[in-house]
Structure 1
Amino acid sequence: MTRPVRVTLYEVGPRDGLQSEAVTVPTPVKIDLINRLSRSGLTHIETASFVAPKWVPQMADAEEVMAGIARDKRVTYSALTPNLTGYGRAVSVGVDRVAIFASASESFSHKNINASIADSLIRFAPVLTAAKTDHVPVRAYVSCAIACPYEGRIAPEAVLNVAQQLIDMGCYEVALSDTTGAGTPADMARLLDHVLPHIPADRLAVHVHDTYGQALANILTALDYGIATFDSSVGGLGGCPYAPGASGNVATEDLLYMLNGLGIESGVDLEAIIETAWFISDALGRPPRSKLALATGR
């Protein structure tokens, strides 16, 4: 297959990144973070998660964050909405798109949302129905697309089964997520070999964590398979509370550096992202997790 000449970076730092941080980030800092990202050339930013605050305290101010950002018409602002209540909250503050999440692992599904995979899909049906009526696009994540912290390696057939159901339910895109970061390029190749004959590359994204230092290698493999949308997190923010030991998503600036070296366009200003990585890391009281931010300094 041919590598894409241009890719879309789907920035998840303000949501997937911050929700795993132990330090409570003040609302004005979150707003400033999103505004800085909006000025960097990114076209997709996942801003918040509309979940019950008791489960994810970091996202308790989702409405305030959405109301406070300076919207850029070139940017799509999305949010995670695990149920119809969360969907209603998100739409009420003008979120452009919403996202839902399922798992390819039964054990992870039970740990994460206390439901089987089948039951989780049933729960999402009302969200997709409402979103169709409201003309709100819905994205989906498939967690543990390569490995599960409780079950080990996940069969590609299980991933395809969940991803295909989400596409059939009306999701415009499915992000195949290496939640634990345990995947290798060989794992990514096996997964895409199995999924791509059934779901085209333009309906897929790749969402990888860098726990084992394999994130960029896995993305390079996915590029060779024609995947052109990649999730990333400024400063390497994030982790997963239900995947012990999982570190942050691939850092946006590290990914950009690789893409620039390959001559692949993204439209994103690398220097702006590095500055933003230092901004949010300072707010968290620690250095960025990305190699590039540390190598280049402030």
Structure 2
Amino acid sequence: MDLLIITLVVFFILIVFIKKISSGHPKEAIRQPPGPWNLPVIGSLHHLLRPQPAHQILSRLSAIHGPIMGLKLGEIGAVVVSSSAAAKEILNTHDISFASRPIYSSIKVITYGGKDIAFAPYGEFWRQMRRLCLLELLSAKRVQSFRYIREEEISNLIQSIAGAAASSVSVNLNDEISQLSGNITARAVIGRKTTDHKLFRSVITGVDKLASGLNFPDLFPSMPFIARITGFQRKLEECHQNLEQIREEIIKERRKNQESLRPFAVDDIIEVLLRIQVENNLQIPLTDDHIKAVISVS
């Protein structure tokens, strides 16, 4: 086992060395923010591989290197901003320049490469989706229409806690509140008539676990073989297949039963999106991929 690890490390370093040699003449260096010292290949990663929480590590490094600090995470450059003045410059003064988010492997699985609003690159489609959310999905009237869902789920939680207390059973409030939030969101997005919302939530949770933390394949995009060696690619493909099957079934079921669902109290988010798709009044047409991406990150 130790020999295998050593062989993989040597092979990895050799590949990086060959890529650097074959890349030709180095480009003119761009001035970077101050930051901690880097190692070959991994950059600043060794500073982050500590037992402390990430925010404490970054706070300690920022206290040394300043409120605007540069990091090299493998092949990816990152800037850590830890002062309110600098954050205001980025989020207010230069917000358009920083509006787009990086789309990593796990996010591509959920959003079809950024076809939702949270990860869509800044542009006409993002502005269209923003207007759609403000006017249709997240309007005060729409949020108020889901009040009965919130009341029912909170009532269920209170009864569950009361029952546990009567039986002297301990309750993990973190888990219960997380489940409460997930149930409310699932019912508002997918609808109370859908039986797949628990399975849907479990698959999304699995993708979230893949997206959290440092995923080395995303830090070395020029070396896609890392994803296969580490098994990351296989896990992504499994999540994609499960998620795609559930989303397809939800949309097909809703289209099939759309008329019979009208008598219910309110339109859920997926029904609103399907209605807008049929009306086809948008500058950029709303496809099934857009709908599946939106309901996955809601």
Assess same fold via TM > 0.5: no
Q: Radius of gyration: which is bigger?
A: 2
Q: TM-score, normalised by structure 1?
A: 0.24
Q: Return the structure number with greater strand share.
A: 1
Name the structure, 1 or 2, with higher relative contact order (CA <8 Å, separation 6+): 1
Q: TM-score, normalised by structure 2?
A: 0.24
